[in-house]
Every structure is written in C-alpha cells, then in structure tokens.
Structure 1
Amino acid sequence: MAKVSSEALGQESIGKLLIKQAVPASIGILVMSLNVLIDSIFVGNWIGSIAIAAINVVLPVSFFIAALGMSIGIGGSSIISRALGANQKEKALHTFGNQITLTFICTVSLVVLGLIFVDDIIPRFGGKGDIFDPAKIYYVIVLYGVPILGFAMMGNTVIRAEGKPKTAMIAMIIPTISNLVMDYIFINILDMGMYGAAWATTGSYLACFLYIFWFFSSKKSELTIRFHHLGLQKEIVREIASLGGVTLARQAVVSITYLLMNNILYDIGQEGLVAVYAIIGRMLMFALFPVFGVTQGFLPIAGYNYGAHKYPRVRKSINTAILYASVMASVVFIGLMIFPAEIASLFISNDPSMSAKELELNNFVLTNAATPMRLVFLATPIIALQLIGAAYFQAIGKAIPALLLTLSRQGFFFIPLVLILPHFFGELGVWLSFPVADILATIVTAYFLNKEIRKELITTS
C-alpha cells in the first residue's frame, strides 16, 4: 500500500497530483506561518514592539541552524524521490539513514558554537540598545530546541518525498497549535514575558519532532531503516551536500539579509524601523504560503518523473505549477496593496498601561508600516516563475544551477541593491530593493529555465 503512494507521482494527472501535493503543503506552511504571525501578534500585544524587534533579531540565527535540517532533508529527498522513481529502494534507505546522522552532527555542533558566541552574535544581527536583553533571553532558550527542529524539518521533507503530503501537513500543524496554546499559558496567564515566548516556541519544536518520530518508528513509512543505514557513505553525503547546499545557501543569504536590514534600519530609524521590518518579515513568511506550498508540492512530482524518464510529465508539472502559483500570488498581491495599514495594526497594542516610550514606538510603527509593505510586495505576481524555476533544477539533481538561481534574488541582486540604494534614496531605497531584486531574478530564471526545457525535456523526449 505504501509503495503505491510514491508510484502515484508518476501515474496520476499532473493537475490533480499537484493539487494533492500542494494543498496539504500549503496548509502546512500556512499553519506554520500563522504560528509565526500569531506568535508575533501575541508578543506585540502582550509584551510590546521591542519584543517583536527582539524576536526578529534572533530568527535568522535560529532559522539558519534549523535550515541545516531542512537542507539535509531537501537534498536527501531529491535523491529519495528519484531513487523511488527508478525502483532503487536500498539507495533510498541509505540516503535517509545518512540524513539522520548528518542532521545530528551539524545541528548540535552549531548550537554549541551559537551558545558560546551569543554576546557577539546578537549585536551583529541588530540586537542593539533596548533590543539586546530580550533578544538574548529568547535566543538562548530557542537555541536549545533547534536540533529538535532540525530533525523535524528533515523528516518532514522525507515524508513528502514518499508521496504522503497529508502526513507532512499534520507534522507542520502540530507545532503551530502547541505553540499558540503555550503562548497563551506562558505569556498571558503565567506572565513569563520573553521567557514564556521562548519556551513556547521550543516546546512546539518538541511536539513536531515527537509526531515525526512516531511516524517513522511505527512503520507507516516506506523507509524503515536499520542501524547500518546510518553509516555515512561518501557518495550519498556528497550528493546531499550539493543539493541541500542550495537550501542552506538560501537560508544563509536570508540570515545575511536580516543582519543587513536590521543594522541599516537601526541606523536610519533605530528600534522603530527594526520593528516595522519585523512585521513585514512576518508577512513575507505568511502571505506567500500558497506559492511556497505549490513549490513544495512540485518538487517530488518533478523529481520522481524525471527519475522515471517521463519528460512530458515533467514539462507539464512545470507549466501547471507556475500557473497555479502565479494566480495565488496575484490574489495575495491585491490583498496586501489594499490593506497594509490594517495588517500592521494587528501587531500593535495601544494599551494605556504601557510606558510612554513603548506607546510612542507603537505609534511610529503604525504610522510608517503601510508604504514599506506595499513596496516590498510590489513584484509579488511574478515571483512564482522564479521560485518554481529554481526548484526544478533542485528536483532533478542539478545542484549548481539550482544554487545560482536560488541565490540570484537575495544574494546577487538584493544585497548589492540594499547596500547601494539607501545612499541615494535613504529609507525608500531600502524598500525599493525588494521589488527590483524580484524582477531581475525572475528575468534570469525565466531565461535559464526555458533553455533547460528546450535542451533536456524536449530534445530527449
């Protein structure tokens, strides 16, 4: 029965299959995004804007370490999808075993380093002034749970590679519900402040891990590994590293982006603009969930059919995924253009019991968030092509073009733009860097994707 679920990736109609894969992925990403979003709303209303800014400082650090798990998961899942498509079950098992070993070694090592250099890391990511102390509280506690999150993210991508999107969706829903419940208990009822926000987040990581561990240990998976599968194999590790490096490099660039943005905006407008960017950052995670869901759903379909040499199905999966994601991105774009001020107000409290400084900061954020949000999301309708195009190369195991296209938006375009434009346009230059980078990256991706389709999927089919 389990095997049929993976074979369906090469048999069902692409449109129906993409919906089956993308809807659970989208729901899972939505729920996880809501987790971050509502968590920020709770923190903003129950603790204050400084707390939102503090979490924004910590996120790139913890996300980067957690991204090790995701990158190992996605890199290995590409191998697993193609191995299952080619009926190479033993290779799939060895790949999964190697993913477990690599995740343990990498995440634990970086957590140790992260704790040793905590006082140097937080200021470099914008945790200055009044932001430092709450950021340190949140950082240390959340970092304890990052290895657990790394295993959860790795396992989730493997579940999806097996063709079990609903199970992967449930794994993403569990930490969201548990985090929100614990947020309410720890922050609102027990009044634990930043300590409560941090322990709620770490507890949610554990809940997700326990569910995924149960899935694999209860033999519901096709990938029932034995101890010998955990031994690292050079060729598998090399392929996981090359493909997973795409995801890790993307998250590294995201972390660098947060570092630059927090420092540049702090220099321009201190805590106020850092808090504005924190809200926009949450929306960048939340608003595009359907596009990311289609991208995640697309990966195993493209990988499986490429491994099975069903190239017409691969072409159709590309076109269908771009179409679905573009429509959803356009709907998101309209909502963000119409209601930016209303969205920002969700994160801010005007409770008169707050200090005068906190109320002044909240008023600044409410007054200055709408225009930046519109500018940041200005190119949203076209980003689907860039995301699907880069994901395609990752799905078929071509690590170098996948890496270059993944890095094109933030690494090759956004970072240079955000370093240059503020010198000419001030704060406006910071926000304009987002849509300009989106447009340039989409043009580049469209060119290389079209070239690859003509070379590999038309001439060889």
Structure 2
Amino acid sequence: MSVSSKDLANKSINSLLIKQAVPASIGILFLTVNLLIDTIFVGRWIGALAIAALSVVMPITFFISSMGMAVGIGGSSVLSRALGKGNHKKAVATFAHQIMMTVTICVLFVIAGFFFSEEILLLFGANGAIMAPAKAFFMPILLAVPLQALCMMGNTVTRAEDKARYAMVAMIVAAVSNIVLDILFIKVFDMGIFGAALATAFSFLFCFLYILWFFVVKSELRLKIISFNFDVKLTKEILSLSFVTFARQGVISILAIILNHTLYAEGGEQAVTIYGIISRMLMFMLFPVLGVTQGFMPIAGYNYGAGNYTRVKEAILTAIKYAGYLSVIILVIVLVFAKPIASVFTTDPQIIKETPSALRWVFAASPIIAVQLIGAAYFQAAGKATKALLLTLSKQGFFLIPLILILPQFFGIFGVWIAFPISDILSTTITGLFLKKEMAKELKES
C-alpha cells in the first residue's frame, strides 16, 4: 500500500477533506463549466430549441455512462475498506471487476440505444420540433458513451487511492477539449448540433486516454491478466453497493421522462428549454457541495474499514459543516443574479423573463441539502447498501416524482418548480434522522 492511502488513517480530517474535496470540486467545476458552456454555445449559435434537445438527450446518455459511475462508487467502497484493512490483493481484484462490469453493462445499453433510438428519444420527451435536433445529437454521443463510463469509473477509483489530483485533471481534460472542439465544430465548421455531439464524443476519448495513462503509470493498483479472474462473491459485493447508484440514476432518468413530458404539456418547447437552463445551473452551482461529498467518501470508507469510528464521525460533521456553508453562498448568488444568469444562455426575451423565478424556487432549499448528500454518501461508503439506497432515492424517487405528478394539476407549471424545495426539505429531514441514530448507536467511540 502506498503512503498516500495510509494518510487517510493518520492526517487530520480537516486537511484530508480539503485535500480530497478541493481537487474533486475543481474537477466537477470543469465538468459543469463544460456542460454550461456547451449549452450556451448551443443556445446562442444554434438556437433555443437545441437546448431543449440537449435536455432530452443528456439524461439518456448520462444514464448509460453513469453505470460506470455506479460500478465505480460501489466498487470503490469495497476498495477503500480493503485498503483500510491492508488487503491490497482484494483492492486490485475489485478494480479488475469494475472494469469488466462497466464494459459489459455499457455495451449492452449502447446496442439497445442503437436499435431503438427514436423510441427512446420519444420516451424521454423529444416531442414536436425537439425530435430532429435530438436525433442529430444522440448518435455520436451514444457511440462514445462507454469511454465516458470508463472515465467515470476510473475517476472514483483514483480518489479511493487518495490521488484526487489526477481525478481532477481527467475532468479538466474532458472539459477543455470539449470547449475547444465546440468552437471548432459549431462556430468554425458550422456543423450545428451534430458538431456539438462530435465535440462531446471526442472529449470522452481524450479523458479516457488520460485515465488509461494514470492506471498504467501512476496507480498503486497494478493489474495483471490473472486479476481479471471472475469472482462471483466479489461481483455480488460490488453490485450490492453499485445498485444504490444504479437505482438513483434509474430514478433520475424516470424523473427526466416525467419532467420533460410534464413541462411540454404545461408550456411547450419553451418550458423544456427553461428547465434545460436550470438543470445546467443545478450541476454548475452545486459543484463545491458535490466536491465535498466526493472528497468525504474515501475518508469515511477507509476509516470505517479500519474500525476508527471516531474519525468517521468527525468526517461526517466536518463535511456537513463545509458543504452547508457553501450551500448558503450558492443560494445567495442565485437569488441575486437569477436574471443575468438566464440572459447568458439565450437572447429569447420570453425565456429570459420566465427563467429567474423558476431558478429561485428550484434552489430555495439548497442550504439544507448538505445533510442529505453527506448522509447518503456515508451509508454507501460504510457498505450499508439498504440504507444508502433508501436515502439516495428519497429525494427524486419518494418525493420529487410524486410531487411533479400531483402539483401541476393544481398550480400548473409553478407546481413543477415548487416540487424541488419541498422534496429537498422532506428528504433532508429523513436523512438527518437516520444519520443521527447511526452516529449515536453504531459509530461508538473506537
């Protein structure tokens, strides 16, 4: 085991969290800036309808690629605890299984997407005029999705090794290459939304090549042919924890389907475009909170595996504190700058008029989401799959989807926007209760 991974047991929680969270946050920042600029380029250089097409296609491709993230997060929980126990052999075997599982799952999804592309696009809300640009955007990205999945899986393993800086650089490589290629393919070569898709696909390739270099040259997880010996027990252990993220992404995809159809029914292509802007801002503005959450997981998993529960509790409280402070700052920025934010994406006066109010409502409860995110992440890092699953699904699955189905019947499109803060409040309350009980009874002084 490298000195680096042993630091997770010895260094102060504050310094570890900063060391893990800052690179993770920067990496997510570049990833979200990439999505943000992609949307701005598409909205301004192609048209507002193209933003609606992105809102339909991206949940599909992200669902497929997130299978890699799911295997990465679930397997990295196993990997971190194995490193914490000094079991390097199991850590290497886990990584090999993550690669095999990611490739197999993603290739199957891509084949299905290739043969049923139009049906899938219709299912996800490519209604009316949205279908044509959605089809042009879908196919190039679909073919490159396995590379993105391997990048997302490799990224979580890199952080589990306590090498978060390399994970950060991988996301920067993807973001910068996509922005440069966007300008080239959309603006210079005038290839429209197909050019935007090509730029994104090539960015996945460049990210994958960097991740491959890291594991060949820098990683402590040295794979051999024998490492790819299939182990049913290990596969089940990885899948039991990966299922948490599988299920979450499945629910997010169902949410995208319901949202796009509800928004189209209540406000046509314009409403879908407005949510396209809001969804990008959700990913962008919450990057530091997500960075803290990702930085927290290897610290919690390693120390839980080592039986050092005092440090686990300290990590939970410290992560919630930092993420909570950041969430308050985010809300203030959204409240003050909602209209300028909308104006960046489009010149359509009606969309600029309608977006700020919706944006403020969607972010209204963001200061409390730190408890929900860190709480769910703890149970996953500790290998408690059932609780992690329930808490991870609580916002979108148990509250947001039902509220979006019910509230618009009484409040129209306003019901969609207020469903977000209500679901945040309810899911955070439940997670807080679970976490309080866990810290009082399970994480006793070691």
TM-score, with normalisation over the residues of structure 1?
A: 0.96
Residues 220-249 of structure 1 show CA distances to partners (whole Å, capped at 9, x for unaligned) of 111001112112211111111111111121
Alignment-derived partner of residue 359 in structure 1 = none
Report the Cα offset of residue 128 of structure 1. 1.1
Q: Which amino acid aligns with 1:266?
A: Y
Amino acid at match of 1:372: A
Please give the residue correspondences for 1:235-314 in structure 2 after superposition, counting only pairs within 5 Å: 235-314=233-312
**8 Å Cα contact 1:326/1:382 also seen in 2:** yes
Letter in 1 for 2:123: R
SS at match of 2:443: helix
C-alpha distance in 1, partners of 2:149/2:285? 24
Who is 1:136 aligned against? 135
Q: Whole-Å Cα distance in 1 between the matches of residues 20 and 118 of structure 2? A: 42
CA distance in 2, matches of 1:14, 1:370: 38
Following TM superposition, by how much is the alpha carbon of 1:31 offset from its aligned partner in structure 2, in angstroms?
0.5
For the 8 Å contact 1:39–1:183, the answer to whether it is kept is yes
1:371 to 327, 333, 357: 357
Secondary structure in 2 aligned to 1:119?
helix
- Give secondary structure in 1 for the equivalent of 2:190: coil
Equivalent residue letter for 2:16: L
Distance in 2 between residues matched to 1:251 and 1:288, nearest whole Å:
18
Alignment of 1:103-142 (within 5 A): 103-142=102-141
Structure 1, residues 352-406: CA drift from partner, whole Å, max 9, x if none? xxxxxxxxxx222111101100000000000000000000000000000000000
Q: Match for residue 337 of structure 2?
A: 339
Distance in 1 of aligned mates of 2:203 and 2:247: 26
The aligned counterpart of 1:202 is 201
The residue that corresponds to 1:187 in the other structure is 186
Partner in structure 2 of residue 439 of structure 1: 425
Aligned-partner Cα distance in 2 for 1:378–1:140: 36
What is the DSSP-based 3-state SS (H/G/I as helix, E as strand, rest coil) of the residue aligned with 1:339? helix
Q: What SS class does the counterpart of residue 9 from structure 1 fall into?
A: helix
User: Do structure 1's residue 422 and structure 2's residue 411 form an aligned pair?
Assistant: no
Paired residues, number = 446
| Residue of structure 1 in register with 2:146 after alignment | 147
- Give the gaps of 5 or more residues in structure 2: none
Q: Deviations over 1:285-320 (max 9, x none)?
A: 111000000000000000000111111100000000
Deviations 1:18-48 (A, max 9, x none): 0000000000000000000011001111001
Aligned-partner Cα distance in 1 for 2:229–2:25: 34
Q: Which amino acid aligns with 1:133?
A: A
What's the counterpart of residue 72 of structure 2?
73
The answer to whether the 8 A contact 1:329-1:384 is kept is yes
1:124 Cα deviation from its structure 2 partner: 1.4
User: Residue type matched to 1:153 in 2?
Assistant: M
Aligned residue identity for 2:392: T
What is the CA–CA distance in structure 1 between the aligned matches of 2:43 and 2:30, rounded to whole Å? 19
Output the CA distance in 1 between the equivalents of 2:185 and 2:414. Answer: 38
Counterpart Cα distance in 2 of 1:202 and 1:441: 35
Question: Is 1:229 the equivalent of 2:227?
Answer: yes
Q: Which amino acid in 2 is paired with 1:395?
A: A
Distance 1:398 1:228 in 2: 30
Q: CA deviation at 1:277?
A: 0.4
- Per-residue deviation, 1:126: 1.1
User: Partners of 2:276 and 2:241 in 1: how far apart?
Assistant: 30
* Distance in 2 of aligned mates of 1:93 and 1:200: 34
Cα RMSD after superposing both structures: 0.8
Q: Which residue of 2 aligns with 1:18?
A: 17
Partner of 1:176: 175
Q: Deviations over 1:166-220 (max 9, x none)?
A: 01100111000000000000000000001100000000000000000011112x1
Measure the CA separation in 2 of the matches of 1:146 and 1:216.
Answer: 20
Structure-2 separation of matches of 1:246 and 1:285: 20
The correspondence of residues 354-365 of structure 1 with structure 2, limited to 5 A, is 362-365=348-351
Tell me the SS of whatever aligns to 1:397.
coil
Structure 1: distance between partners of 2:237 and 2:45: 46
TM-score by length of 2: 0.99
Counterpart CA distance in 2 for 1:27 and 1:236 is 32
Contact 1:171 1:208 in 2 (8 A): yes
Matching residue of 1:358: none
Pairwise CA distance, 1:262: 0.7
**Counterpart contact for 1:68–1:106, Cα < 8 Å:** yes
Once the two structures are aligned, what percentage of the paired residues are identical?
53
Q: Which amino acid aligns with 2:111?
A: V
Amino acid at match of 1:343: I
The one-letter code sitting in structure 2 at the alignment partner of 1:403 is: L
Distance 1:203 1:329 in 2: 33
Corresponding residue for residue 353 of structure 1:
none
Mapped to 2, the partners of 1:232 and 1:286 lie a distance apart of: 39
Q: Indicate the SS of the match to 1:346.
A: helix
Distance 1:337 1:242 in 2: 40
CA distance in 2, matches of 1:74, 1:317: 18
After superposition, give the CA deviation of every residue in 1:50-69 in whole Å (9 maximum; x if it has no partner).
Answer: 00110110011100000000
Letter of the structure 2 residue corresponding to residue 206 of structure 1: L
Tell whether 2:391 aligns with 1:392. Answer: no
CA distance in 2 between counterparts of 1:426 and 1:191 reads 39
Given that 1:101 and 1:231 are in contact with CA atoms closer than 8 Å, whether structure 2 keeps it comes out as no
Q: Distance in 2 between matches of 1:232 and 1:414?
A: 39
